[in-house]
Chain A
Amino acid sequence: MRRKSLKYALFMQGGVLLLLFLLQFFLPAYHHSSFSKIMILASYAIGYNFLLGYTGLMSLGHAMFFASGMYSAGLSIFYFGFTPLEGMIFGTLFTLTVSLIFGLFALRTKAVSFLIVTLMFGQTFYLAILYYNEFTYGQDGFSLTDYLGTLSILGKEYLYSDPAIRYNFALILLASYLLITTLIVLSPVGRILIAIRENEPRTQLLGYNVFSYKLFALTFSGTLAGISGAMHALLYSYIGTTFAEIHHSISPLLWTLLGGAGTIIGPLLGTGIMFYLIDFISGITSNYLLVVGVVLVLTIIWFPLGIMGTIRQKWLKWLP
């Protein structure tokens, strides 16, 4: 079953990725750039989903990880003259450390307390960026445009902001996230995480060290979010506190729930739908956040499993 599941899953994801790859040659400029954005944000949501969907831990502080990847990559490039690649690596390691330390503390709490602890930690991180404004440029943030240089591929020089670079980097990021989470979810480790989600005390009784599995899930999820943040910094060259705010923590929750928590492809779908929904509504009214609220409420009442979750329940049982 699991092998078959893996085969089907990889087949389907491959199809989606191939489609996304081909689409870049046909999409008009605006949708081309929207798709790049969706893929970056979806990878953030995939990281989030790893924690919520597969381990059953709901966080309201993931913007902290996104921002920590973004700021550590951005600041190291800005101040220490790191190359973008070095910045990415530094950003990844830094976020890994942050999420590990955070996990050691936060995982001592459960359920609602965990939620509030993540929320509060996220808020502290946000305030810290504001407080050290002489270093971080506070609420205004800063731009990396002059610090990134160019990227040379096959002897040709490209800017990081080049639409094609942006699209394909986002696609590569998305593809690797999809692949790696699928592999982990279908591995023994993934089974244990799901067991924790379903019944934590029983998993504990079976002799598994629940805490370290949870710590792994949290660190992994946080690091994925951080890498997305670092990538966002490179491709969009703006770093600001707006990415550390509470709203940016609620977003991946919304995308994941809508698309289907605990499904691999769900967050991508959820992100895409919300992006275009907001884009469409904001053309009609300034109150586009109303839609966010309504979608959240309706989803949680009628589709608690999300779109892909409902599809899996009804038709595609093998969906990971």
Chain B
Amino acid sequence: MTLDAAAWAALRLSLWVALWATLIAVPLALWIAWLLARKEFWGKTLLNALVHLPLVLPPVVTGYVLLTLFSPAAPLGAGLQAIGLTLAFKWTGAVLAAIVMGFPLMVRAMRLAVEAVDPKLEDAAATLGASRAGVFIRVTLPLITPGILAGAVLGFAKAMGEFGATITFVANIPGETQTLPIAIWTALQIPGGEGSAAAMALLSCTVALGAVLLSEMLARRVAARIGDRS
């Protein structure tokens, strides 16, 4: 049971991909969650279904859809490449796959948090002179911080573990797209690779456990700061 350089590279890549995916997805998921919780608009049901689609689709299919949309041959992929952003078979593509797969989990957690905030508190803040942005930053945001953290941790964990969509979309290129789960899978394909796979699996567990503990600690600290919600 040893960790070779390739394993460490896979871990670094996974962390890097998960970090970027979380950073990009959190504001976006928060916005979508707020829309779904608070606004009535045409196409709301469709948006909701679209957000949740990766949760029910086979990951391979999600990866295939991403490949179809973002390969340099597709208009969207070509357009992004023209502005210097290549996704297919790049670590950036792994980030996109992680975002798409983790998005439903993030939105669900954040939507619940937004729905738990009494709009009457926001009304009260408005009567005191706070603009819409002021109300959001000074009242809504602090009250939903635990939900945002929970969503972020779920999304991060999902990004760390994403396999199907990632390998379909960006393949298995060591140092570029070979994330930890893909590295474990690869090790298992090679005779005698079980030791390396077990070591990496243990590493994966450690990171996941650490993330959950960290989020618990943060949530507790936030809850203490926010106090009773009654």
A binds B: no
